[in-house]
Amino acid sequence: MSAVGQPERATQSRVIGLSRDELEYRYLGHWITRDRLGEKLGKRLGETRAAIVRSMKDNPKVTGSELAKRLRLSTTAIEKNIHFLKTKRYVKRVGPAKGGHWKVVQ
Q: How far apart are the C-alpha atoms of 24 and 74, rounded to whole Å?
A: 11
pLDDT of residue 29: 60
Q: How far apart are the C-alpha atoms of 81 and 68, rounded to whole Å?
A: 11
pLDDT per 10-residue tile (average), the chain, 106 residues: 78 84 69 50 70 92 94 93 90 91 88
Cα 85 to chain centroid distance, Å, stands at: 15
Q: What is the pLDDT of residues 58-77, one digit of tens each?
A: 999 999 999 999 999 999 99
Fill in the amino acid letter for 38: G
| 5-104 fold | Arc Repressor Mutant, subunit A (1.10.10)
Domain map of the chain by residue range? 5-104
pLDDT of residue 16: 82
